[in-house]
Amino acid sequence: MEQSKNNNKIEATNFNLQEYLNRINFSGEIDLNVQGIKKLMQSQLFSVPFENIDVQAGKTISLIGNDIVNQIIDKKRGGYCYQINGIFSLALQEIGVPHYYIAVRPLVNPGQNPKTHLAIIAEIENEEYLIDLGFGGNSIREPLKLSDIGTEIQQDFDTFTLVKTEENEYLLQMQIGKEWSNLYSFDLTPQRWIDFKPANHYNYSHPDSFFTQNLIVVLPNLFGKKILFKNAIKTVNNGITEIISFEDDQLNTILETEFNLKVSL
């Protein structure tokens, strides 16, 4: 994978692999096979929330690697795709897994959508896999093999599939009820870390951005996931969904008790 040269990647002088592993509650050795990367991926998914709290607070979202490490490891916060997939990229670099970034077009919202999402293509055991920890409530939960076109892929209680479009792009779909819902499309053109600077600026500042309009926090777990959206929490546990609304003055307590986030909004 020639695309994985380090000068195309996120860099952080303050990244320490053991501190990262402690942050995501990972124990044991890291195996450089699919099961090993799945374990690493799920350890982060279950420990680092997907969240846009700083966007809602009107803050600038930094793509500087040291800032991302400080936010996720030192401050024990989460982030959205650039921070979450960015820090996972730092871990992949440290353990020697070849990978590169792709620009992804979200399709969850109706209408025309720009390529504002970042995902990772990694080479594991001589196969290319999609890795994405940063697509909120609909993130895949383990590496997804690109050659499994048209196959129904069960990941815990979610089912995904990859199909090819007429434009020869990949389309990731998720089964919701009895229907297949489009999540996002992408091609395999490698992107540099710096290439996501305009998309990041759009996501944290533009009035049309989903993240400026809505508060969202997501934390998957072994049995499902918790999703805070606006003034409600959706809990999915063993395929059973429960939704509970809350008042504004309960928000900070809920962020701490349900998502382990000590912030003030």
Q: What is the largest CA-CA distance in the chain?
A: 51
Give the pair of three-digit tokens for residue 35: 């099961």
As beta bridge partners, residue 198 has none
Residue 55 pLDDT greater than 50, yes or no? yes
Assessment of whether the complete model's pTM goes beyond 0.85: yes
| Cβ 143 vs Cβ 123: under 8 Å | no
Residue 66 pLDDT greater than 90, yes or no? yes
pLDDT band, residue 5 (cuts 50/70/90): very low
pLDDT band, residue 17 (cuts 50/70/90): very high
Q: What DSSP letter does each residue of 208-225 carry, written as one string?
A: T-HHHH--EEEEEETTEE
Percentage above 70 pLDDT, the chain? 97
pLDDT band, residue 237 (cuts 50/70/90): very high
pLDDT higher for 167 or 36? 36
Question: What are 107-135's pLDDT values in tens digits?
Answer: 987 778 899 999 999 999 999 999 999 99
| Distance from C-alpha of 255 to C-alpha of 264, rounded to nearest angstrom | 9
Predicted local distance difference test score (pLDDT) of residue 4: 42
Predicted local distance difference test score (pLDDT) of residue 3: 44
The runs of H, that is alpha helices, within the chain are: 17-23, 34-45, 53-56, 65-69, 81-95, 197-205, 210-213, 251-259
Domain ranges of the chain: 2-259
| Average pLDDT of the residues in 235-259 | 93
Predicted local distance difference test score (pLDDT) of residue 110: 73
Percentage above 90 pLDDT, the chain? 88
Predicted local distance difference test score (pLDDT) of residue 157: 87
Question: What are 186-199's pLDDT values in tens digits?
Answer: 999 999 999 999 99
Query: What is the CATH code for 2-259?
Result: 3.30.2140.20
Question: What are 202-211's pLDDT values in tens digits?
Answer: 999 999 999 9
SS3 51: strand
Predicted local distance difference test score (pLDDT) of residue 6: 53
